[in-house]
Amino acid sequence: MTAVAVIAKACLPGRAKTRLHPPYSLAQAAQIAQACVDDTLDLARALPATRRILFHDGEPGATDATGFEVLDQPPGGLDARLGFLFDAVDEPLVLIGMDTPHVPAAAVLPAFSEAPGVDAWLGPATDGGFWALAMHSPDGALLRGVPMSQGDTGALQLGRLREAGLTVRMLPEASDIDTAADLAPAVAAAPDGRLARVVAELVPEEADS
């Protein structure tokens, strides 16, 4: 029995994917963010999880959370919020973020395996962070205090897990969608996803809409 959690936030103009502006308007960036969330939820639905959680900041709004428990993120830094999640779930937990909607289910499946002696899985991101984290016995203390959103976050998180005596295996590396330059490779990797359709329909605007 393994749970999967998707961490996401409300896709509002000026609040989501703001680094896509320019060339996209803030409203267009929010549309792209919504497509990222929707594709990531579809990814989670395709995984062999026995429980699905949307760990959400703000109102879900247009997000279709069918089949997911919606768990509100508490106040605090990202490390504290992730710590809250990993303390709130009793069964093995696989966390994936909304910034890598193009990752195929096959890349996540190893974290659902019963590999003997493996306590955790980490999916490194090309920017130095991580896009996925799984623990057989979730423990929020292993996330609290890890500096987030910096170039060595993934390495620091890996070190924290290993210092605690956990045997960690790695998932494939993936690239986050942060800027407009990240969209083309993501679309190429998942040409049938919502993100691909939204990007194909949008004409970048220089000014806010």
The rounded Cα 100 to chain-centroid distance in angstroms is 6
pLDDT score for 121: 98
d(CA 64, CA 171): 27
Residue with tokens 């090309």: 126
- Percentages helix, strand, coil for the chain (3-state, rounded to 5) are 35, 20, 45
The total domain count for the chain is 1
Between the two ends of the chain, the Cα-to-Cα distance in Å is 46
pLDDT tens track for 19-30: 999 999 999 999
Cβ 43 vs Cβ 90: under 8 Å: no
pLDDT above 90 as % of the chain: 94
Domain of 97? 3-201
pLDDT score for 209: 43
Question: Does the residue 208 lie in any domain?
Answer: no
pLDDT tens track for 189-205: 999 999 999 999 999 98
CATH code, domain with 154: 3.90.550.10
The β-bridge relationship of strands 130-135 and 93-97 is antiparallel
Q: Report the mean per-residue pLDDT for the chain.
A: 96
Strand pairing partners for 69?
Answer: 53
If pLDDT is split at 50, 70 and 90, which confidence band does 208 have?
very low
How large is the C-alpha radius of gyration of the chain?
A: 16
Question: Does the residue 159 lie in any domain?
Answer: yes
Question: Does the residue 194 lie in any domain?
Answer: yes
pLDDT tens track for 102-145: 999 999 999 999 889 999 999 999 999 999 999 999 999 999 99
Question: Does the residue 77 lie in any domain?
Answer: yes
